[in-house]
Structure 1
């Protein structure tokens, strides 16, 4: 079947899956210059997926299996397919979350009255905080009692590292790509067998222009920023007061001319990364850290080691360290004054005494952040990496509404939000041949 002659919009009003993606416009084109044809790689993936669905579904007719949104993104055939499709397969990429029509399609499908199944497919790896909704980007699995088709561990790693687009482009990964397509097709077929067929006469929206964008900026990801530092009235003996203010949030360890407390500067950096930060003192955050109050976000704890001269603060931090809190990351800025430089060895010893469990079980990058960051540049770099790590750990411990596991069959869920940038593992989809892809 030649992709260049493939009809990407099916005539049937009840497709088994709706393939949603962000189209790449040819150079020089604009959104108001007409709708682009389906991208070549996307159209070919659609064909591959359709063939597998037909093969697994037995008697399904090829022309009534899927719907590929291409030339009619906001038109009647698209809204019809969103009303009637059994499953929704978004091709996830950074561009996907920036496309308002993709956001509207996502919202329309997940807010239908009748049940449907989300089957997210990773097209290009995306940083965690570039995802404005909670979405599981592991290779999907069908809900029980279906047994997932076997996919090798190496293939799962390749899928996470390269996405479907990357696997398609590498001749050495053809079999890995085929395994992933078969698993996604299995999820589609399973959803067609388990989700009730939508009523043909039920219309919940006429077009997508009036549907909210599920990826709007209002759904930024919450991030707690807690500060454990002395204030000017509770300093260790002989500690100079030039770095401190009336409360812990006023602490300014770095003398780089900005004159802004570190907590506020960190919050601004967090907002640039797609977080919605909230600054707290350690006193305010401690009930969450000790399990007395449920967390609703990942956290970053910014620690001044000078406070560990206070025995009470040392004991409180040891109690924090004793708990398994992977969704909290700890960063220790070292003030750039001579007194701190001279006391660095003593301060590091106090940190090792306060955080023994974390220091023995963490990765090297985390240990370095806990034992001291002596410039604002180092602090900013580590914050970007480790805030995302905390965000990912947080996502791992909360239910994923968009998973294709049994809980993913949704019926008018609350608006999707929550889920957070992992620079270390991100694969930029704006370079080379990938610039032309969603």
Structure 2
């Protein structure tokens, strides 16, 4: 078995799997920590993984944030564990998909899978994610990244699919079903780890800047990705065909390090931000995208500077700038390792800056730095900000649909509360009270074990 994730001798221990879960708060500070049950489940799962693998002594089977010590840099530790673990295990519950922290953990790991897919020349997609039910979640409440996994929870037992691990661990008569489900989950983790062989991520990533993979509850968000690039049939003089295909959307500027079109890579990243994605070619869709009507959704334009050798494409980009479409973010990949880049970089950059800056200096959306995005890793880091900017500008410009009928009088703040009348101004506030209490998770009282509290 590949023990690369265990690290070389002298390295920090690297977990085999990462358990991601939403903390349950105490109802009362005197209550026992409700997350002790998650810790109990984690210990049982680790014990099985250790038996099913040849992990050496001292290497943790899994990572759980309750293991971190006081004073330890939690962001650094999380980044390292998410970069090195072989498998990501999200523990589903109604709280999980409302948690910003859990969404960041999901996105940080799933980005590794997207980059892995870009480097592979063949084979199907492998996410490296093995979901587990703590409390069953209705399918309609799952965000897009979780809905696409298509995991059959009933394979671990009907009782598990109905109750989740929390129900199995709390009910005595389901003890056997609990043991079986934990063991089958451990086998699944080991199987996925051996099949995927996920490469390491970046342990130095800025965890605070990682976006969440979960959007707001409700209707799925939409994002349109457009490509303005050359194809092999219309390359400018002196441009090699290695990065191109029959269609514009086949453009792969980071060849040979990437084996797939950039649009496909962008689609996977945007889907991991909980969007439904449509992909098209900007030139073919230009009349709709550059029309005068209100926007139908936010967009992301992937621009090939080499395409600007065409006066028509220059004109399309100039119209985008002059008509002020800030809800369409523009990203400009420019691979400096490409042997053709050096002798044309200066003049193509000048053309790009000329057409993008031709519009009124009023409102601009996201634009890549004039030097372009040099690597696939840099592209992946910039994309969440570009998506967020497009969404923000779209919300500011999209058509709204207020409810029919009169809105009535606006409420006013009165001295005695909120009302619809008129009143003198409220007295000035002389002080503020800040709730600084943090229920936290705390430590279990010494000597207590979750098993002692098992309910009949």
TM range (shorter): 0.3 to 0.5
TM-score, structure 1 length as denominator? 0.44
Q: Specify which structure has the bigger relative contact order, considering alpha-carbon pairs within 8 angstroms and separated by 6 or more residues.
A: 1
Give the TM-score normalised by the residue count of structure 2: 0.43
Q: Larger C-alpha radius of gyration, 1 or 2?
A: 2
